[in-house]
Structure 1
């Protein structure tokens, strides 16, 4: 006999439906998911929705997909408008009667897919002409929100234009990547053998020519002070990119210290290698490894003779920070007292990494608040972790 949920509270006592992939859980037993399927039940209201999913999900605020199709909902509960990461909402096959109900969803900035077919609102006069992918009435409801977002996030919009749209256009026209164009500029304007002048030239290129998405001088000062303070014997950098942070580290290293830097993209690595050598650093000081961090980290001890990294700099993809930090722990590559410095933890952000660092009990955390280079209004930060050793 199939049982249907008549109340949201029924979720607490029911086992989740099995899917193609097994559901992951946190240490507290809560589900680690961004999707919630409540379809094909007899729900007619969403009373206690927030309280229930807080008991079931580790990060309820991350919900991006909610399926409430084929229930008995007569209206759109305001609770759905509190999930600002929501991008997909299925409401087809319910009992929603007023098209105006949909206007409540105008507050959701990331909502891109909404289904309404199979509701009584289909019988409302003008529904067929008003609703295609989105009716003009709904579009008008979204207009004030769009204007507000454009004003509030104008700096993000400028960043999008400079770092994505214009960059893609120039990549297409020049048949060169931005890193390669930046290197050509450095060759023309910078002094070989002078890492400080090369860094200044890259900053000038990013500010006046094309936005480079590099660490920049403000964060760079924090990194250099940390290297000078810790005087590490060996530094491991994950994510070389255009070698900006690599040159900062190498410049501040004490004599005899070593820097290993890993870059996944071979084409980017070629440019980075040229910049490193142009600055005057040889392979004994700075060794560039081409490959994915997931594959290289387990081979660091045997293939690259790295027994310990006193300082680890994470500057690649924030979504990979947690995985790579746990790999470093698993292979015992960080001694007690080692420092980990991670960039872009607030923008675009690394929430799972930060949550782990704060809750696992093996790190002391310090957050350095900064802005993006050339976009100081966009808040970002570097997090500095001090490793206490295995728990």
Structure 2
């Protein structure tokens, strides 16, 4: 009986705490469900994109693989970068003429094939993909496009875990021994800045000049804005070379004296 007497005055507070707790639990459940749904949709998208490209492209022809990707994206949801974004990336690759390229985020292999077809015969692509299924199917697409394992390396890992292990994958040579010529970031935008600084700490960016491409996907433009603010405080190393709706190009160089654009 005494418990009832003591509990009655506390009942409003108990109900309030319970209500707030339910709201937090409900929010966490909704967030977990949304994440699981995105993951499921992503895997379905990767599988369906791979199946279409594999069945409809001309094997051994990189141009045919690219065209089949774009044909699929015309009528189906796709995780691949859009053709305009792909052309923006291609313009940078043609201008930079990189030998050693790092890609974060595979997305079915479209951007990997795009990069490889523009690299010189001695060039090499290292692509890092967190999801094992995406990495496996993306690698198969690269091979279907006609490229050899000597031209690329797929690492199934988070970007943070992969970066400290990248040095052995850099091929020795007159240019490549200095580091990466080009980095394409199309993974988690929350990782863009930390991964960029980690690449710098590991001395993986070519000190005489390395272009870094940040891909914008939907809401990512706002995320990238914070990165650019940080970049502007490092004018001795970085400058913002160009800002497009779909992509931002940064330029890294030790002792950089260039200004934005």
TM-score range, shorter chain: 0.7 to 0.9
**Could you tell which deviates more after superposition, 324-333 or 358-367?**
358-367
**How far did 1:286 drift?**
1.5
Assess, with a 3 A threshold, how the Cα gap between structure 1 residues 236 and 390 changes in structure 2: closer, same or farther. farther
Gaps of 5+ in 2: 1-15, 24-33, 172-176, 257-261
- C-alpha distance in 2 between matches for 1:297 and 1:318: 16
Determine which of 338, 344, 347 is the counterpart of 2:219: 347
Assess, with a 3 A threshold, how the Cα gap between structure 1 residues 345 and 177 changes in structure 2: closer, same or farther. closer
Measured against aligned partners, the alpha-carbon deviations of 1:48-82 in whole angstroms (never above 9, x if no partner) come to xxxxxxxxxxxxxxxxxxxxxxxxxxxxxxxxxxx
Determine which of 195, 198, 204 is the counterpart of 2:62: 195
SS in 2 for 1:243: helix
**How far did 1:216 drift?**
1.6
Task: With a CA cutoff of 8 Å and minimum separation of 6, indicate the structure with the bigger relative contact order.
Answer: 2
Number of residue pairs matched by the alignment: 215
Would you say the 8 A contact 1:315–1:343 is kept in 2? yes
Determine which of 170, 191, 204 is the counterpart of 1:320: 191
Larger Rg: 1
Measured against aligned partners, the alpha-carbon deviations of 1:138-161 in whole angstroms (never above 9, x if no partner) come to xxxxxxxxxxxxxxxxxxxxxxxx
Would you say the 8 A contact 1:367–1:381 is kept in 2? no
Would you say the 8 A contact 2:214–2:247 is kept in 1? yes
- C-alpha distance in 2 between matches for 1:291 and 1:342: 19
Superposition RMSD in Å = 2.7
Normalised by the length of structure 2, the TM-score is 0.75
**How far did 1:244 drift?**
0.9
Normalised by the length of structure 1, the TM-score is 0.51
Stretches of 4+ moved more than 3 A in 1? Answer: none
* Equivalent in the alignment of 1:288: 154
Report whether the alignment pairs 1:249 with 2:115.
yes
* Equivalent in the alignment of 1:211: 77
* Equivalent in the alignment of 1:230: 96
Determine which of 354, 357, 360 is the counterpart of 2:231: 357
- C-alpha distance in 1 between matches for 2:70 and 2:140: 17
Would you say the 8 A contact 1:345–1:383 is kept in 2? no
Matches of residues 110-121 of structure 1 in structure 2 within 5 Å? none
- C-alpha distance in 1 between matches for 2:105 and 2:163: 12
Structure number having the greater helix percentage: 2
* Equivalent in the alignment of 2:247: 382
Measured against aligned partners, the alpha-carbon deviations of 1:314-351 in whole angstroms (never above 9, x if no partner) come to 11111110010000010111123111111017732323
